[in-house]
Structure 1
Amino acid sequence: MERAERFWAEALERSRHALGSGNLVPLETELIPPQGWEPFQLRRLLSATPKHLRAQGPKPNPFRPWDPQLQVCLLGRRHLLLLNKYPVQAGHVLLITQGYEPQSGWLKGGDWSAVARVDADTSGLWFFNSCAEAGASQPHRHLQLLPRHGDQVACPLDRLVRAQLAGVGRHWPWAYKLSPRKPGDGAEALAATYHAHALSLGLGDPGSDPRPLHPYNLIFTDHWFLTVRRVREHVAGFSVNALGFAGYLLLSERSELAWLQREGPWALLQAVAARG
C-alpha cells in the first residue's frame, strides 16, 4: 500500500523549526552492542533523564494547552498530531485529543477514526500505554507513532511476531493477544480488534465497563495488532512501556545492566507482564 506520507513530511519540517527554537529535545542515546539479547535493541541514555522517566509523582498536563511549536496538524475538532517533545527518532509524533480525555480510559471510536486517518497517509509502529503501570508518562490521552516507510522493518521483534501469526513461532509466557492486520484496515476493524482483545485478556468490556480493569499496552503495524496485559511498569531499574514488547529497551542511570545480562530481555518482559 503506497502512502503519500504528508503527515511524516510535515512532522519532519516542524521538527526542524522546533529544534532551532529549543522546543524539541531529542533523546541522545547510543546503541549497546548485543551481548546475547538479540534481536532486542538496547540503547543507553546519554542525555539528562527527561521528566517523564524520573521518579513517579504528580505531573502537570503538557497537552492542556499543547505547545503550538510542536503542533503538526489538527485532525478535525477532537484530535491533533503533535511532535513528541522527547523523540526517540525523527518524526516521532503523538496523536492526542484536543480536549482532555484520560489515558486510563477506554479508547473510543473517534480515537480509532483519527488513527485510521493518519495511518492511511503515514504508517509505522503505533503504540499505546494505558496508564502509569503500563509506561504512560502523561494522564492526557495519546497514542504514539514511529513512522516507517513501506519497505522498512517495523521493530526488532517484527519477524518473531509474524512467525507466530504464521504458526511457526514460539508463544510467549505472558498474557497477550495477537491478531493479523491487513494494510488499510480502517477504524471499524481496529476498534473491533481492540474490543476483542480486551475481552479475551480480561481487561473488561469497552462497551459497558466504565474503565479498563487492568493496565495494558497496544502495539500495531500494517501487519499485526498486539495487546499485552501488564502488572507493573519497571523491574531492575528498567522502565518498560509498549516499546519493550516491540524489542526496544532503554538503559538509564537507574537500570541494572548486570541483571539484564544475567536474566535476559525475555525475563524482563515476563516480570512486567501478567502471567499467561
Structure 2
Amino acid sequence: MGQFLDAALERSLQAERCGALVPLETEVVPLAGCEPFVLRRLLSETPKHLRSAGPKPNPFLPWDPALEVACLSREHVLILNKFPVQRGHVLLIPQRWQPQSGWLSPLDWQALAAVEADTPGLWFFNSCAAAGASQPHRHLQLLPRQASEPSCPLAAACVEQLQGQQQAWPWNYRLSPRLHAGTGDAAAELLELYHRHQSELGLGAPHQQPQPQHPYNLILEPNWFMTVVRTREHWAGMSINALGFAGCLLITPESDTAWLQQHGPMALLAAVAGSSR
C-alpha cells in the first residue's frame, strides 16, 4: 500500500494502547431491498459527535499528538480519526484555523493530491453541520483502499453513470470523471472540478461569496469526483454525512429501520439532498 497507511496503522496501535484512539464496534445489518448499500449497526456507545448537543470544542487546534500520522507541510497535517469504524481512517486538517464551512483552498487540494499519490482511497468532506460535519475546524477524511478493493458500495454505479449505462439519481449533484489522479496534474484537476461543480450547483464562487451558499458533500476517489447539495442532516432518526452518498449508512438506537426498509436508502438520501433541476 502506501507509507501514509502504514504509518496510520502503526500509530493506531500506539494510540489505542494509550487510550487516545477509540475504535467503534459495528456489525453489518442485512436489510432486504437495501443493496448495494452497506448498513452497519453501531454496537459501541454513541460517540459525542453523533449526539445532538450544544457548541463543540475544537479537537484539532491543537490536535492530539498521539493521533498524528504525518506532518505534510507548514500548512497541513494528517491525523487519525479518534472514533474510527475502519482502521486507518485519517483526517487531513490545516494546522491553523480554517472553517469547515469556508471554501476549500488550492493548498487543501495540493495536500489531498499528495496523500492520494501515496495512499489512494475514498475521500469525503461534509461542508457544515447540516451536511453531517461534527467539527467546525476544516477536515477532509480518507478511508484508504487496496488497489483491488472498491472504494465504496456505489463506486460501480458512479462509473456506470459516467459511461451512460445508468440513470442519474433524483437529487441535485454533479458527478465527473477524474483523469489525472496520482499525477502531477491531480491538484489542479481537483480544484477545477470543485469550482465547476460549485458553480453549476448554485453554490457560488470564492471570488463572489465569502462561503458556499448551501450545505454540500464531496465524495471522490481516483476515478470520479461527486458533489451533492444538502438540505438537512437528519431523516428517519439517521444522521447522514457524505458516506451516505457513497452507499454507507450507520444505524444507531435512534434510527428508524422500519422506515428505511419500507422506503429504501435512495428515498433516505432524497430526503436530505436537494432535488434535481
TM-score (norm 2): 0.97
Q: How far has the Cα of 1:208 moved from its partner? A: 2.8
Quote the residue 1:127 is aligned against. 124
Distance 2:84 2:119 in 1: 17
Q: How far has the Cα of 1:35 moved from its partner? A: 1.3
Answer yes or no: is the 8 Å Cα contact 2:28–2:40 preserved in 1: yes
1:235-274 superposed matches below 5 A: 235-274=235-274
1:156-167 superposed matches below 5 A: 156-167=153-164
Could you tell me which of 108, 119, 141 is aligned with 2:138?
A: 141
- The percentage of aligned residue pairs carrying the same residue is 61
Letter in 1 for 2:242: A
State which drifts further: 100-109 or 30-39: 30-39
Letter in 2 for 1:73: A
- Structure 2 residues not aligned, in runs of 5+: none
Quote the residue 1:226 is aligned against. 226
Quote the residue 1:25 is aligned against. 22
Q: Deviations over 1:24-48 (max 9, x none)?
A: 0111100011311000011110000
Quote the residue 2:44 is aligned against. 47
The reply to whether residue 169 of structure 1 matches residue 166 of structure 2 is yes
Q: How far has the Cα of 1:151 moved from its partner? A: 1.2
- Structure 1 residues not aligned, in runs of 5+: none
Q: Deviations over 1:197-231 (max 9, x none)?
A: 00000000123311000000000000000000000
Answer yes or no: is the 8 Å Cα contact 2:201–2:229 preserved in 1: yes
Could you tell me which of 151, 175, 178 is aligned with 1:178?
A: 175
Letter in 2 for 1:228: V
Q: How far has the Cα of 1:246 moved from its partner? A: 0.2
Distance 1:223 1:172 in 2: 19
The reply to whether residue 102 of structure 1 matches residue 99 of structure 2 is yes
SS at match of 1:11: helix
TM-score (norm 1): 0.97
Q: How far has the Cα of 1:88 moved from its partner? A: 1.7
Quote the residue 2:199 is aligned against. 199
SS at match of 2:255: coil
After superposition, the CA RMSD in angstroms is: 0.8
Letter in 1 for 2:234: H
